[in-house]
């Protein structure tokens, strides 16, 4: 039987790659950005929105769905695609990151990790085999191996974690049997080039269907992240997709694509939309600001999304200020459209060998979000990881 998966590399431009990853639920045009549907729903959106927005891939969170409504229930309802009525490609993470950042009283051992649910405190255990069972029950097109996500700045910790993560990767590979599901490995190693090299080579030898770069955007600087990508991308197999997990800031996506990354996911566009932060070519604007009270313009002048075709900033500000649920949806539609449009432009620029021009043009205009705030967010994520208990 031929595999339903195929990675077609159409063109490179420098290290950037224009490609298509074909799955049982359709092709993913790469470089691709996946909006996050944590609980089997991209918050405030529905499948027809995702189609209209041109989303080829969405991510769902294994940790959350395992706890609620449960992977077995979803399997009995026909799997994730049927359950959520989204018939395009789906990727699930392994839940590892959530166990280390969201769950309570986590205890890590060689065999797996025990934790308490952040919802009701109930006790659970993830092992590589258990996570494969859960992801195969959920039934996404792409599943991720269980890994440990350590503080990226601690060398000693990363050495120990990496060895365990590699043993877990082997066990996941052995336990994974669904031929209609691609299993991706996750390269770890913090900000340390030698560890990343080791990890890329080890996982490359296991012949995964794709390779994620994990453990970034969790406490390191942007420069450290980009340098790590410079090391890692060339070290993983060139004939498989490369996936940078948890990254969604436009400037980071552009820089990562230039270094050879093919896939991204992030809650950024959906989460900030619910906080009235809308993405524009000039950077984020916050629609709660008084300056928009009587602004008749759309969020973004040339934008073709439903929100911009239909509503003024003044109206959207009114909805946000009044706490109307629709505001969250209208903001989300725009922000996801903004990222999808960025990905379309990136793919066109790789085809035309104009990615450097796109980068220069984009960054000249795009005002980066407050770096202090972002640094603080990353520091908090890192502290979460530092709290982890190892037996």
Contact yes or no for 60/40 (Cβ under 8 A): yes
**What would you report as the CA-atom Rg of the chain, rounded to the nearest whole angstrom?**
20
Residues 229-288 that bind a second copy (CB under 8 A): none
Is 79 a residue that touches a second copy (CB under 8 A)? no
Which CB sits closer to a second copy, 1 or 290?
A: 290
Of 12-20, 178-186, 307-315, 377-385, the segment contacting a second copy by CB under 8 A is 307-315
CA nearest 206: which of 245, 260, 244, 168? 168
Q: What is the DSSP letter of 292?
A: G
Which CB sits closer to a second copy, 329 or 382?
A: 329
Which CB sits closer to a second copy, 172 or 272?
A: 272
Of the candidates 20, 24, 27, 46, which one interacts with a second copy according to CB under 8 A? 46
Of the candidates 159, 314, 363, 386, which one interacts with a second copy according to CB under 8 A? 314
| Angstrom distance (rounded) from CA 300 to CA 60 | 29
Is 43 a residue that touches a second copy (CB under 8 A)? yes
Of 26-34, 45-53, 139-147, 352-360, the segment contacting a second copy by CB under 8 A is 45-53
Residues 316-345 that bind a second copy (CB under 8 A): 318-319, 321-322, 324-326, 328-330
Set 49, 56, 262, 265: catalytic member:
265
Cα 330 from chain centre = 22
**Distances, alpha carbon 34 to alpha carbons 88, 161, 187, in Å:** 11, 27, 19
Is 291 a residue that touches a second copy (CB under 8 A)? no
Which CB sits closer to a second copy, 50 or 217?
A: 50
Contact yes or no for 151/216 (Cβ under 8 A): no
Which CB sits closer to a second copy, 314 or 363?
A: 314
Sign of CA dihedral 78, 119, 249, 245: negative
Of the candidates 306, 354, 359, 374, which one interacts with a second copy according to CB under 8 A? 306
**Which pair of structure tokens corresponds to residue 81?**
């695609």
Q: How many helices (H) and strands (E) does the chain have?
A: 16, 17
3-class SS at 312? coil
Of the candidates 45, 266, 305, 339, which one interacts with a second copy according to CB under 8 A? 45
Set 49, 93, 151, 252: catalytic member:
93
CB of 173 to a second copy, least distance (A): 31
Which CB sits closer to a second copy, 321 or 359?
A: 321
Residue 71's Cβ-side half-sphere holds a number of Cα atoms within 13 Å equal to: 20
CB of 319 to a second copy, least distance (A): 6
Known catalytic membership, residue 265? yes
Is 99 a residue that touches a second copy (CB under 8 A)? no
| Angstrom distance (rounded) from CA 221 to CA 227 | 10
CA nearest 199: which of 231, 223, 177, 156? 231
Is 311 a residue that touches a second copy (CB under 8 A)? yes
Residues 58-77 that bind a second copy (CB under 8 A): 68-69, 73, 76-77
- Using the structure block, give the residue that is written with the tokens 């995964």: 208
Is 315 a residue that touches a second copy (CB under 8 A)? yes
CB of 289 to a second copy, least distance (A): 14
CB of 186 to a second copy, least distance (A): 27
> How many binding residues for a second copy (CB under 8 A)?
37
Which residues have a Cβ under 8 Å from the Cβ of 256 and sit 6 or more positions away?
226, 229, 244, 247, 264
Which residues have a Cβ under 8 Å from the Cβ of 35 and sit 6 or more positions away?
42, 45, 50, 55, 58, 59, 265, 269, 270, 336, 339
Residues annotated as part of the active site: 93, 265
* Site residues (vs a second copy, CB under 8 A): 39-41, 43-48, 68-69, 73, 76-78, 83-85, 293-294, 296, 306, 310-312, 314-315, 318-319, 321-322, 324-326, 328-330
């Amino acid at each position: 039987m031929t595999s339903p998966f195929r990675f077609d590399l159409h063109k490179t431009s420098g290290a950037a790659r224009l490609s298509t990853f074909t799955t049982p639920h359709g092709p993913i045009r790469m470089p691709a950005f996946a909006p996050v549907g944590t609980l089997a729903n991209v918050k405030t959106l529905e499948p027809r929105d995702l189609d209209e927005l041109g989303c080829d891939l969405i991510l769902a969170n294994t940790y959350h769905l395992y706890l609620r409504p449960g992977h077995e229930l979803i399997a009995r309802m026909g799997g994730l695609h049927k359950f959520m009525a989204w018939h395009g490609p789906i990727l699930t993470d392994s839940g590892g990151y959530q166990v280390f950042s969201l769950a309570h009283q986590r205890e890590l051992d060689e065999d797996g990790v025990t934790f308490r649910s952040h919802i009701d405190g109930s006790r659970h255990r993830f092992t590589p085999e258990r996570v494969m069972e859960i992801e195969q029950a959920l039934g996404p097109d792409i599943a991720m191996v269980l890994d440990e996500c350590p503080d990226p700045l601690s060398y000693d910790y990363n050495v120990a974690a990496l060895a365990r993560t590699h043993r877990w990767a082997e066990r996941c590979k052995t336990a994974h049997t669904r031929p209609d599901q691609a299993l991706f490995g996750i390269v770890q190693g913090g900000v340390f080039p030698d560890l990343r090299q080791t990890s890329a080579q080890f996982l490359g030898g296991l012949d995964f269907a794709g390779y994620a770069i994990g453990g970034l955007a969790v406490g390191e600087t942007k420069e450290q992240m980009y340098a790590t990508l410079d090391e890692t991308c060339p070290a993983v197999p060139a004939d498989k997709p490369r996936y940078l997990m948890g990254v969604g800031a436009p400037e980071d996506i552009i820089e990562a694509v230039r270094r050879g990354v093919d896939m991204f996911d992030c809650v950024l566009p959906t989460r900030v939309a619910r906080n009235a932060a809308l993405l524009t070519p000039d950077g984020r604007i916050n629609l709660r600001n008084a300056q928009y009270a009587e602004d008749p313009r759309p969020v973004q002048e040339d934008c073709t999304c439903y929100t911009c075709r239909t509503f003024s900033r003044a109206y959207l500000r009114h909805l946000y200020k009044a706490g109307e649920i629709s505001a969250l949806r209208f903001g989300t539609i725009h922000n996801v459209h903004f990222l999808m449009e960025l990905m379309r432009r990136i793919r066109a620029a790789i085809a035309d060998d104009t990615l450097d021009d796109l980068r220069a043009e984009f960054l000249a205009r795009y005002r980066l979000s407050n770096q202090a705030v972002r640094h603080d967010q990353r520091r908090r994520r890192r502290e979460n990881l530092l709290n982890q208990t190892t037996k």
